[in-house]
Amino acid sequence: MSEKKSINERDNALFEAGIKLGALYHQFSGSPVNLKTVDSLEKAIAQSISVQPYVKSITVSIDREIIRSKLNSEFGYCELEGRMLDVNLIMNYENVIVKASLKFDRKLDYPLMKIEEISDIPQ
């Protein structure tokens, strides 16, 4: 039988960061967007996540070139896709600061969420 290990602040901080990025991705993928609405969608996404517990800052950037290439010629919009997102999140859970991101990885052809940095707040 394997040894049980206790869950610590770092574990919970990493879990919270992942949940926030996953929620952002799944909540907003498929949203209608065009070049006139992209600024407001970026702000709405950032503001939506920023009110969640432990979030210190978030930046959201949507790739306008991809939008331009995917615009429906008849209706003038496309749907937000993971490949369009570039998100940076900083959160503080207890005494741990986590910097996490969601960026499209061209090599993997996948919108990859990852932890960029973890640090402890000196007490």
- Return per-residue pLDDT of the chain as tens, 123 residues: 677 889 999 999 999 999 999 999 999 999 999 999 999 999 999 999 999 999 999 999 999 999 999 999 999 999 999 999 999 999 999 999 999 999 999 999 999 999 999 999 877
Whether residue 81 is contained in a domain is answered as: yes
Is 1 part of a structural domain of the chain?
A: no
Does residue 108 belong to any structural domain of this protein?
yes
Q: Could you tell me if residue 112 is inside a domain?
A: yes
Q: Is 20 part of any domain?
A: yes
Residues 88-122 pLDDT 10s: 999 999 999 999 999 999 999 999 999 999 999 87
Dist CA 89 CA 81 (whole Å): 19
Task: Provide the residue range defining the domain that includes 55.
Answer: 9-120
Distances (CA, A) of 84 to 1, 14, 33, 101: 45, 24, 11, 13
Number of domains, the chain: 1
Closest CA to 121 of 101, 99, 97, 89: 97
pTM for the full predicted model: 0.91
